[in-house]
Amino acid sequence: MALTATERTTLKRLPERGSHERATVRSILDEGIVCHVGFATERGPVVIPTTYGRVGDDLYLHGSPASRMLRTLKHGVPVCVTVTLVDALVLARSTFHHSINYRSVVVFGTAVEVTDPDEKAAALAAFVEHIVPGRTADARPATIKEVSGTLVLRLALAEASAKVRVGPPIDDEEDLALPVWAGVLPFTARPGPARPDAFVPDDVEVPAYVAAYDRPCS
């Protein structure tokens, strides 16, 4: 099922790389770890990296109530949230045609503060499950004080689109015979090994969801 294309989410250049498919947008968001949040301030644009969670067709941002970013966004300031995955380096025969295979999602909208305690608790769990699936069953849940001490914002995945480059380099035909190696160097984020902190009791082993961690999470 596709999201509705808008002026802002329609690619002007290389439109064949664009997608409004909900499944594509979701899978890129779920694989990413940090997003980049852009908004205007009195002193110009700001782009801040932060973690996020997704529940259905909503994206959640969170942090301290003292966070300048969250305090600004909760007033309904327009925001752009971008998530980018680098999949491979693309080595062409010519300097000019070098590229990157990547998948990115851009979300436009305005965020609203989440005040309902149940939605807030679900969002807080989503932040952790997004990063380490299975973790919330082990970790101590947030207390009422911690929940109320966290500012959570919701941004609808309504005006969103994906952009994807895949495949080999696209060289000029007259360069194909050059004796230059060309191809793709895949680039994968690999986890591990896990390092316990100093206070973990000896009989507490590394959980399976940490030892077998991979991304995208299965």
Smallest distance, a copy of itself to C-beta of residue 9, A: 11
| Part in contact with a copy of itself (CB under 8 A); list of ranges 16-24, 30-38, 52-60, 112-120 | 30-38
140 touching a copy of itself, by CB under 8 A: yes
Q: Are 9 and 25 in contact (CB under 8 A)?
A: no
Smallest distance, a copy of itself to C-beta of residue 104, A: 5
Interacting residues of 73 by C-beta distance below 8 A, sequence separation 6+: 37, 39, 61, 79, 110, 111, 153
Smallest distance, a copy of itself to C-beta of residue 115, A: 18
Q: Are 36 and 49 in contact (CB under 8 A)?
A: yes
Smallest distance, a copy of itself to C-beta of residue 165, A: 11
Q: Which residues inside 52-81 make contact with a copy of itself, applying CB under 8 A?
A: 64, 66-68, 78-81
Q: Which of 108, 120, 153, 160 binds a copy of itself (CB under 8 A)?
A: 108
187 touching a copy of itself, by CB under 8 A: yes
- Measured between alpha carbons, how far is 69 from 142 in angstroms, rounded to an integer? 22
Tokens coding 203: 């009989």
Q: Which of 5, 98, 148, 212 binds a copy of itself (CB under 8 A)?
A: 98
Q: Are 9 and 17 in contact (CB under 8 A)?
A: no
Q: Are 212 and 131 in contact (CB under 8 A)?
A: no
